[in-house]
A = this chain, B = another copy of it.
């Protein structure tokens, strides 16, 4: 998808920009460019290409979200031609304009050095999952939640979730399609709480295996509905066997809410800073 990292880092003809993205994943085949439908990557790269007078622009993202998965805080970087006159506001508004009418918007943009990488510089990823737990199907939140009809015990799910925190072999919660070299991951946060009819999961780790969050939620839901005792979640983890885990929760309820960097490129030089327009260096 992108030029080899070595080539990019040494080229004087490239300027790299970090962008903060929001999107409704329901309309797309996922982040990654595919032959069979519209991807967020293809829309973003096409918008960046328009901003560059038709030249190809490659992107790298912090998290390649699946079809149907949303984002309120996705981060990507784009390599623009070095000769282009850009500033944070122009990148943010220009990309958002060219992304119309698709439900993808650029919230912020900041110039970064060529050794900064949206994927490899990320210190953590944060996801939110929402279950709408009531009898009636969603009307206002359709496509944004997993609708579970039978009553769920959020307290039991929260307790079971705590046994998964820390560094483990997460093979039980890993999709067969996962391409990661190791199933070891460190789960830093897995909060579960009820807010009226909604059950909210807040999940954080340096990185995740493919489908890990959805498999965790699908497994905890087995506890919530009473089909699994709480301790079976930890037993499933220890089994290191996908067949011992619960089902994969649907993508609708999932959103990438944030990616952590140190320092945060947007806090330093983003378009949202209400000061003089910054020029790309």
CB of B139 within 8 A of CB of A22, answer yes
**Chain B residues within an 8 Å CB radius of A271:** 135
Q: How often does this chain occur in the complex, in copies? A: 2
Expressed in whole angstroms, the minimum distance between the Cβ of A202 and any Cβ of chain B is 16
- The range of chain A's interface size is 20 to 34
Query: Is A92's CB within 8 Å of the partner chain B?
Result: yes
Q: How far apart sit A105 and B139, CA to CA, in the bound complex (Å)? A: 6
Of the residues B70, B137, B140, B144, contact of A72 by C-beta under 8 Å: B140
CB of A92 within 8 A of CB of B135, answer yes
Query: Is A106's CB within 8 Å of the partner chain B?
Result: yes
Contact digits for A104-135, partner B, Cβ 8 Å, 1 yes 0 no: 11110000000000000000000000000011
CB of A23 within 8 A of CB of B139, answer yes
Give the dominant DSSP class at A's interface. loop
Query: Is A79's CB within 8 Å of the partner chain B?
Result: no
Query: Is A184's CB within 8 Å of the partner chain B?
Result: no
CB of A92 within 8 A of CB of B136, answer yes
CB of B92 within 8 A of CB of A107, answer no
CB of A139 within 8 A of CB of B92, answer no
Expressed in whole angstroms, the minimum distance between the Cβ of A10 and any Cβ of chain B is 33
Query: Is A96's CB within 8 Å of the partner chain B?
Result: yes
**Chain B residues within an 8 Å CB radius of A106:** 136
CB of B137 within 8 A of CB of A105, answer yes
Query: Is A93's CB within 8 Å of the partner chain B?
Result: yes
Q: How far apart sit A23 and B144, CA to CA, in the bound complex (Å)? A: 15
Point out residues on A near B: beta carbons under 8 Å. 22-24, 70, 72, 92-93, 96, 100, 103-107, 134-140, 142, 144, 151, 255, 271-272, 274
Q: List 23 A-B contacts (CB under 8 A).
A: A22-B140, A23-B139, A23-B140, A24-B139, A24-B140, A24-B142, A92-B135, A93-B135, A93-B136, A96-B136, A96-B137, A100-B137, A103-B139, A103-B140, A103-B142, A104-B139, A105-B138, A105-B139, A107-B135, A134-B272, A140-B144, A140-B255, A151-B274
